[in-house]
Amino acid sequence: MKYVLVTGGVVSGLGKGVTASSIGVVLKACGLRVTSIKIDPYLNTDAGTMSPFEHGEVFVLDDGGEVDLDLGNYERFLDVTLTRDNNITTGKIYQSVLEKERRGDYLGKTVQVVPHITDAIKNWIEAVSVVPVDGKEGPADVCVIELGGTVGDIESMPFIEALRQLFFSVGQDNFCLIHVSLVPVIGVVGEQCVFVCVCAHARVQKTKPTQHSVRELRALGLTPHLLACRSAQPLLENTKQKLSQFCHVPAGNILNIHDVPNIWHIPLLLRNQNAHDVILKQLDLHGVAAPPHLQEWTKRAETFDNLTNSVRIAMVGKYVGLTDSYLSVVKALLHACIACSLKPSVDWIAASDLEDESAKLTPEAHAAAWETLRNAACVLVPGGFGDRGIKGMILAAKYARENKVPYLGICLGMQISVIEFARSVVGLEKANSTEFDDQTPNPVVIFMPEGSRTHMGSTMRLGCRRTLFQTPDCVTAKLYHNSEYVDERHRHRYEVNPELIGILEEAGLKFVGKDESGKRMEILELPGHPFYVGVQFHPEFKSRPGRPSAPFLGLILSATGQLEAYLNQHQNGSL
């Protein structure tokens, strides 16, 4: 197995995940099979119990793994299906070592970070790297490993040491280290400000942070083969030369990942700087690799750059303060919009700003939220947990239903639409979810019997589950190409109460998708509405560039008046 390790320095949030994904894209374009591993040094076993404000969205895999959002980037960029084992955390490593210690596997030895923790890390990497993730048999050619955090963090030290040992054991021709760093531009300060008008170096690219970062990495036993330098503008030649001199990296191996119009340009940026040649040479793969074919990526990047028309989408959620909380939803909207030759214009609305209480406490925010909602072409209510903002989401669902505005509710968003319909149409004024009111006399959404009320981690209904369409004559089935069923990923503890389905359907709401038992509601539609759809699953996790998720595509098509024509064309076999 050949390994490409991507580390980061100076600051976090440099885009190591996109860089690692893009490296994988370029290598895959050379005809190589690629797999990925993300290392997160935090003590959590997985990302499942972490707040979206703390760490962005929790990405869910087919096997139910709740993982870092970077694995979503890997899946979207490389078009692979990863497993929970492709995300390594300190919690997982220590848990596995302590379980062995309790069983007596270490035969009475003193269990230490070195060698036991480091050996566990190495063994995990070597075992996971040979598991195929692209649907083909046999191991991949290259495993791209991203080490989270920044070099020098105390929590990542065992991983650095394990990776150093891995480098030593597999040999020079099987290991390539790429260090992502920041090259900031800093203006003059203090007394020098007087000379701004005549100083040629008023704003220069600073290499010192990268120098220190590389020095730290080298002190830990790892020397980068390539530098991937993040900057606002392209690197100057003298900046490259300075980095080369002080970081002991050839100038030709210093890559510049400057700001671009969209992230689909990153693989092209790497290709244009011959990053693949350097990596292939280091890994001794020139004999089996071909020149990279990135025509599809080029077309995709250029298509997006040239789009002029846009569609306004109201995103009514709980975690709008950090857009990474809904990263996969945003990407799914992007994929759907590009399929319709549009740019997405997402209007973020904090659900609590729509509530009546907000009109009294923050009237300006309340007025602005409602104006934004009314100006949107469609409404999307994504998933979430807890009762904050629920009243605002219900008001958004009611607005969309009554005003015939296209609506998509995902997970919690579907449950919200059921609560609103039960209150406003069926007449159950106190209808609610037991998540928000465990004493409600009309529990239209209930806790699932197999869930745990005492443990939070990995106790939800997780992973890929099958949904059976109850009728082919529904919008969602047609969007899924008239399939009898669909396999989508789930992450929820609550479900629509099966005992109340009868009265809800009598009032007009139709549950057109159910699980294999027929008792769990998966998809709802409202006949007579242009597009009013709720799904219990998370379709955003399987959306791909060039293969948009069906519910998202339906939302955008309806918002732009193209849905009926699309369905007719598809029905006639034209698409």
Q: Catalogue the active-site residues.
A: 411, 538, 540
* Cβ-contact 42, 67 below 8 angstroms: no
Tell me which amino acid residue 123 is: N
- Report the candidate in 485, 493, 556, 544 with the shortest Cα–Cα distance to residue 514: 485
- Which residue reads 């993040």 in tokens? 230
- Euclidean distance between the first and the last CA atom of the chain, given in angstroms as a whole number: 41
457-467 burial by CB neighbour count: b if 16+ within 10 A, else e? eebbbbbbbeb
Alpha helices in 316-470 (DSSP H): 327-339, 356-361, 363-375, 390-402, 412-421
Beta-bridge partners for 380: 315, 408
Q: Any idea what DSSP says for residue 520? A: S
Dump strand ranges (E) for 92-174: 142-147
Q: How far apart are CA 230 and CA 253, in angstroms?
A: 14
Would you say the C-alpha torsion 357, 363, 365, 371 has a positive or negative sign?
A: positive
Beta-bridge partners for 469: 513
Q: How far apart are CA 325 and CA 50, in angstroms?
A: 11
What is the β-pairing status of strands 461-469 and 407-410? unpaired
Beta-bridge partners for 78: none
* Cβ-contact 275, 255 below 8 angstroms: yes
- Report the candidate in 540, 70, 552 with the shortest Cα–Cα distance to residue 344: 552
Structure tokens at 503: 């009265």
Task: Please state whether 282 falls in left (phi above 0), alpha (psi between -120 and 50) or beta.
Answer: alpha
